[in-house]
Amino acid sequence: MRKRNWYGRLGLVLTVLMVGFAGVGMFWTPYEPTAMVGADKYAAPSLAHPFGCDQLGRDILSRTMEGAGSTLMIALAVLAIGFVAGLLIGAFCGYFGGVVDALVMRICDALAAFPSILLALVVLAVIGPGKYNVIGALGILFIPSFARLVRGEFLKVRDRDFVRSARLMGVSNGRILFVHILPNTWPTLLSGLTIGFNNAVLAEASMSYLSIGVTAPDVSLGRMLNEAQAVWSTAPWCMLCPALVVVLTILGVSMLGEGLRERMAA
C-alpha cells in the first residue's frame, strides 16, 4: 500500500531548509551577527534588513542564522549524550533484567518525576550558565527517557524466536544486543530520537530565554526571544524570525520522524 506520505516529504523539505539555514549561518551571514549600528536600533524590516534590527542595531536575520546553528549543535550534542548513554543503559537493563535493571529503572523513575527543564534549571543555577554546561546538564537529563524507551523495546524483542536461536547457537551477548535486537527496534527509536531532538531544541531555547543558557556574545534563539518580548508591541519583528525558525524546525523534524516511522513500519 503506497499511501502518499506527504507529511514525511514536507518534513524532509522543512528540515533540510532549516538545517541549511543554520548551516549557511555557520559560514556566512549577511552581516556580522554582533555588529552594532546605532542608527539601526529597532529598525523595521527593510530590503537591507529583511527581518529588521534589534535593540542594539544588530541584524536579526544574521543573528537568527547564527543562533539557529548554535541551537542545532547544542540539540545534537544533547541528543548524542542522552541517546548513546540511554541506549547502553536501556539495552543492558532490558536484555538482562534482574536487580540492576530494577535499581536503574527506579533511579530513572525518580529523575523523570521532576520536569526535566526544572532539573536543568537547578543544575545550571549551581554550575553556572554557558554553552557546554547546558549541553552537559540537558544531555544527562535526557538519558532516563531514552533508557526507558530502549529498555521497553529490548524487553519486547529479547524472547522472540530469532533471539533464542541466536542464543542457542552460542552468539555472544554483545552481538545479540547490537546486531540482532537493535535493528528491530529502529522504528520506535527513530521517532524517539526526533521527539528527543525537538525537546532538546525547545529546552535549549527555554534555558536561554530564562537567561541561564547560552551567554553573550554567543547568540541564541531563546535569548533573542527574551529580548524581543520587551518590545512585542513596538517592534514585533524582533521576535518573528527566531520564533519562525524554532517553530519550523520542530514542525519539520516531527513530520519527518513520523514519516520515517510509517515508512519503516510499512
Return the number of the residue (64 or 226) whose C-beta is nearest another protein: 226
- How many CB atoms are closer than 10 A to CB 119? 17
Q: How far is the CB of 226 from another protein (least distance, A)?
A: 8
- Residue found under cell 536501556: 90
- Residue found under cell 554553552: 131
Binding residue for another protein, selected from 12, 19, 26, 35, defined by CB under 8 A: 35
Binding residue for another protein, selected from 2, 161, 233, 265, defined by CB under 8 A: 233
Return the number of the residue (26 or 56) whose C-beta is nearest another protein: 56
Check binding of 187 to another protein (CB under 8 A).
no
Return the number of the residue (5 or 85) whose C-beta is nearest another protein: 5
Check binding of 184 to another protein (CB under 8 A).
no
Check binding of 204 to another protein (CB under 8 A).
no
- Write the DSSP assignment of 159-196 as a string of letters: TSHHHHHHHHTT--HHHIIIIIIHHHHHHHHHHHHHHH
Binding residue for another protein, selected from 3, 27, 98, 159, defined by CB under 8 A: 3
Check binding of 229 to another protein (CB under 8 A).
yes
Q: How many residues sit in the footprint of another protein (CB under 8 A)?
A: 31
Return the number of the residue (37 or 73) whose C-beta is nearest another protein: 37
Neighbouring-strand partners of residue 59: 53
Residue from 72, 63, 59 nearest 18 by CA: 72
Residue 20 corresponds to which amino acid? G
Check binding of 232 to another protein (CB under 8 A).
yes
Check binding of 247 to another protein (CB under 8 A).
yes
Stretch that binds another protein, among 124-132, 142-150, 153-161, 181-189 (CB under 8 A): 124-132
- Residue found under cell 530469532: 162
Return the number of the residue (87 or 193) whose C-beta is nearest another protein: 193
- How many CB atoms are closer than 10 A to CB 98? 8
Q: How far is the CB of 34 from another protein (least distance, A)?
A: 5
Output the CA angle 129-135-136, nearest 5 degrees: 90
Check binding of 265 to another protein (CB under 8 A).
no
Residue from 230, 247, 240, 233 nearest 56 by CA: 230
Check binding of 129 to another protein (CB under 8 A).
yes
Return the SS3 of 133: helix
Return the SS3 of 44: coil
Residue count of the chain: 266
Q: How far is CA 176 from each of CA 164, 166, 261, rounded to the nearest angstrom?
A: 10, 7, 23
Positions that interact with another protein (CB under 8 A): 3, 7, 34-36, 38, 41-42, 55-57, 128-130, 211, 215-217, 226, 229-234, 247, 251, 254-255, 258, 262
